[in-house]
Structure 1
């Protein structure tokens, strides 16, 4: 019995340690390195947004060009104001606030870390990089 218990305990310990190191960072800290649209922002949109906000009209998050040309019904202006995340409608609809009772994406909002990446990318000038 001891021959089985010790290896099982070791495997369980390694699995548990791996789970703890793979926990998603939801701290909302601003990343220290420049944000890349292609490798940091578009993957968030692809995973969480483009099912509804793809090529079917309205707000389109399927590509950089589509995002930069999207206005949305609420804002009447572009959703992204390069260099000014606070004035960007995109950030407004992602964050829970009293005026926005149902932040996007519907059902489950983005992590604080993902929202901070988007905010930092916009504040860095919303570059197509």
Structure 2
């Protein structure tokens, strides 16, 4: 939900159940949310809505993965300052994520929704 005067987080995640749980938790702590289930849809929303932060899954359908989108964002003079936190199932992707320009990464299997919300909130301050 896009709410004026609230900080907004775009959640780009194709696992619907996980995405909905993250969105619910972020809204519980007072954040506005946008959702996308592909990198292409996420890129469009970033350009149109300018979210304050992006939670970006790596493995996405449609031919463009999360790393591809992150690289595109970091090359765009207007969008490169958009903070991105990578969502992943693989701990080996953390170095790649930060090298490309992510501000943080979350290993989905090792973190609770409360910890996701806290990480997001801390990066928005």
Q: Which has the higher strand share?
A: 2
| Higher alpha-carbon Rg | 1
Task: Decide: shared fold, TM above 0.5.
Answer: no
What is the TM-score with the length of structure 2 in the denominator? 0.25
What is the TM-score with the length of structure 1 in the denominator? 0.25
Higher relative contact order (CA 8 A, sep 6+): 1
